[in-house]
């Protein structure tokens, strides 16, 4: 267990490309990481945030005042290989107190090779990002040469134009067969009667768990998988995953998705976050960079068909230009913070997508019913096809 005296390993520094500097105390790995600095307003879920592949290339500042009290465990990983490049927090908890904990946060970051910086003013950092917009920065627990680190930040590539999905996608297809954690040892998932092919642009494990909980066998495929390969697997539906980077830079995705929309016929297609943006681009739309993005677990989204509001988990730096979609796409969900597009559907096909995380591990769970919508539609259409 961590104690107050040994939480930190030594000095650490966060520098921004504009020259702003924050000195703090280091934990996790002894390393230097460069990326886009973003803030996340979620109150819980730091392990899920760190291990979310959508944060690849980003240094994440958490606004909650103390982080680490529940430790970390193998069941809450969202990606085994990818995620945030560094963690910025106000205070590292002096103790780990949760029955599921297997390792403290500092040890977890060490295993991932990620530096953490604490004892910095995360409120000031957040205000700086809100005023200046997302900035490139450096977190280092091994170097204190501020001028050299500022130069390193300025040399880093901007997020615009980066095809990070190509860096995080799986190299080979695989079948997922793990249900959500239930706390009941040996509890079995329902039998599978549906098959989904999921494009991996940085897919979160809990998306796959949510599908498995509903009787879906999911084959996860690399981002560059051809339409012919997908159709040859005869899926009941197709899923477009979340992921990092600029959607306009994901080579070939727009063409593949456009072809899928045309050739899937009555088989549903569902996209989340980057998958939502890629679908919009495939439909002839456009995306743009947000000033500081949406990152947190408290974003209100209104369903434009029912007027119901859900509190959602979000993590994206780009958004869809609704006016670019033409008449084919229908706005289904609206972000009530800034009136950006939070969901859309096609008028004449079972195709829809959302700009937030309905799997929302660890929460909130307001939008989990979108998986029911997807699965129920697949099941009904599959039954009709089999009855012919």
> Domain for residue 160, yes or no?
no
Residue 245 within a domain: yes
Beta-bridge mates of residue 330: 345
Tell me: do 26 and 125 sit in the same domain: yes
pLDDT for res 240: 98
Indicate the residue among 155, 182, 207 that finishes a domain.
155
Query: Would residue 222 count as lying in a domain?
Result: yes
Are 124 and 186 in a shared domain?
no
Query: Within 10 A of 116 (CB to CB), how many other CB atoms are there?
Result: 29
Give yes or no for a contact between 222 and 95, defined as CB atoms under 8 angstroms apart: no
User: Is 345 among the domain residues?
Assistant: yes
Q: What is the pLDDT along the chain (388 residues), one digit of tens a residue?
A: 434 447 899 999 999 999 999 999 999 999 999 999 999 999 999 999 999 999 999 999 999 999 999 999 999 999 999 999 999 999 999 999 999 999 999 999 999 999 999 999 999 999 999 999 999 999 999 988 999 999 999 999 999 999 999 999 999 999 999 998 876 766 778 999 999 999 999 999 999 999 999 999 999 999 999 999 999 999 999 999 999 999 999 999 999 999 999 999 999 999 999 999 999 999 999 999 999 999 999 999 999 999 999 999 999 999 999 889 877 899 999 999 999 999 999 999 999 999 999 998 888 999 999 999 999 999 999 999 888 7
SS3 assignment, position 66 = strand
355 within 8 A of 314, measured Cβ to Cβ: yes
Q: How far apart are CA 76 and CA 71, in angstroms?
A: 11
Q: Are residues 211 and 355 in the same domain?
A: yes
pLDDT at 15: 98
What span, in angstroms and rounded, lies between the C-alpha atoms of 105 and 284?
Answer: 43
Q: Are residues 120 and 227 in the same domain?
A: no
The pLDDT assigned to 183 comes to 67
Q: What is the pLDDT of residue 5?
A: 47
Domain range for 86 is 10-155
- Our count of domains for the chain comes to 2
Residues in the chain: 388
State residue 18's pLDDT score.
Answer: 98
Q: Are both 149 and 16 inside the same structural domain?
A: yes
Question: What local confidence, expressed as pLDDT, does residue 361 receive?
Answer: 83
The reply to whether 270 and 189 lie within a common domain is yes
Cβ atoms within 10 Å of 71's Cβ, excluding its own: 23
Cα 13–chain centre separation: 26
For residue 246, which of 349, 157, 354 has the smallest C-alpha distance?
157
pTM of the model: 0.96
Residue 184 and residue 267 in one domain: yes
β-pairing, 115-118 vs 341-346, is: unpaired
Q: Are residues 301 and 330 in the same domain?
A: yes
Q: Within a domain: residue 21? A: yes
CATH number for the domain spanning 198: value is 3.40.50.880
Does the bond joining 364 to the residue before it have cis omega, within 30 degrees of 0? yes
Domain harbouring 111, CATH code? 3.50.30.20
The answer to whether residue 1 sits within a structural domain is: no
Distance in angstroms (rounded) separating the CA atoms of residues 206 and 242 = 11
Domain endpoint, select from 99, 132, 155: 155
Active-site residues: which are they?
273, 357, 359
Structure tokens at 343: 């969901």
Neighbours of 364 (CB within 10 A): 18
388 token code pair: 């012919």
Angstrom distances, CA of residue 81 to CA of 112, 215, 253: 8, 27, 22
Report pLDDT for 2: 39
pLDDT of residue 217: 97
Residue 215 has phi, psi (to 5 degrees) of 80, 30
Q: Is the same domain home to 266 and 184?
A: yes
Tokens of 282: 């495939």
- The verdict on 92 and 223 lying in the same domain is no
**Domain assignment of residue 2, yes or no:** no
Structural domain ending residue among the three candidates 104, 131, 155: 155
**255 and 185 co-located in one domain:** yes
Q: State the helix-helix crossing angle for 253-263 and 274-282, rounded to 10 degrees.
A: 70
| Co-location of 226 and 329 in the same domain | yes
Tokens 């990152």, residue located: 295
Taken in order 254, 258, 263, 267, the sign of the CA dihedral is positive
Amino acid 4: pLDDT: 45
Helix (H) or strand (E) run with residue 372 in it: helix 369-387
Has residue 289 been placed in a domain? yes
């Amino acid at each position: 267990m961590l104690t107050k005296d040994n939480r930190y390993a030594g000095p650490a520094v966060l520098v921004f490309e504009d020259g702003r500097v924050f000195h703090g105390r280091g934990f996790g790995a002894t390393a230097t990481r460069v990326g886009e600095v973003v803030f996340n307003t979620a109150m819980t879920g730091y392990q899920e945030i760190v291990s979310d592949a959508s944060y690849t290339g980003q240094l994440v500042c958490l606004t909650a005042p103390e982080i680490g009290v529940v430790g970390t465990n193998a069941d809450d990983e969202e990606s085994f290989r990818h995620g945030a490049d560094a963690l910025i927090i106000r205070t590292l908890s002096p103790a780990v107190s949760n029955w599921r904990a297997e390792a403290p946060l500092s040890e977890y970051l060490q295993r991932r090779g990620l530096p953490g910086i604490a004892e910095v003013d995360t409120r000031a950092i957040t205000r700086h990002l809100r005023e200046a917009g997302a900035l490139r920065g450096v977190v280092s627990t091994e170097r204190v040469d501020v001028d050299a680190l500022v130069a390193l930040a300025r040399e880093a590539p901007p997020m615009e134009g980066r095809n990070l999905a190509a860096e995080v996608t799986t190299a080979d297809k695989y079948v997922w067969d793990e249900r959500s954690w239930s706390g009941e040892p040996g509890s079995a998932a329902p039998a599978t009667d549906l098959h989904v092919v999921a494009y991996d642009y940085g897919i979160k494990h809990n998306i796959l768990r949510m599908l498995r909980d509903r009787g879906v066998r999911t084959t996860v495929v690399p981002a560059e998988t051809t339409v012919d390969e997908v159709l040859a697997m005869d899926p009941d539906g197709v899923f477009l995953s979340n992921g990092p980077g600029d959607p306009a830079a994901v080579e070939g995705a727009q063409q593949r998705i456009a072809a899928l929309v045309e050739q899937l016929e009555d088989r549903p297609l569902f996209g989340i976050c980057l998958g939502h943006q890629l679908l919009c681009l495939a439909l002839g739309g456009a995306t743009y960079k947000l000033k500081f993005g949406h990152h947190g677990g408290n974003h209100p989204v209104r369903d434009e068909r029912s007027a119901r509001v859900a509190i959602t988990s979000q993590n994206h730096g780009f958004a869809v230009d609704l006016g670019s979609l033409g008449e084919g796409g229908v706005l289904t969900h609206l972000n009530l913070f800034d009136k950006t597009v939070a969901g859309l559907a096609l008028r004449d096909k079972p195709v829809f997508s959302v700009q937030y995380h309905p799997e929302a591990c660890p929460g909130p769970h307001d939008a989990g019913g979108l998986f029911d919508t997807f699965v129920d539609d697949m099941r009904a259409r599959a039954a009709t096809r089999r009855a012919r």
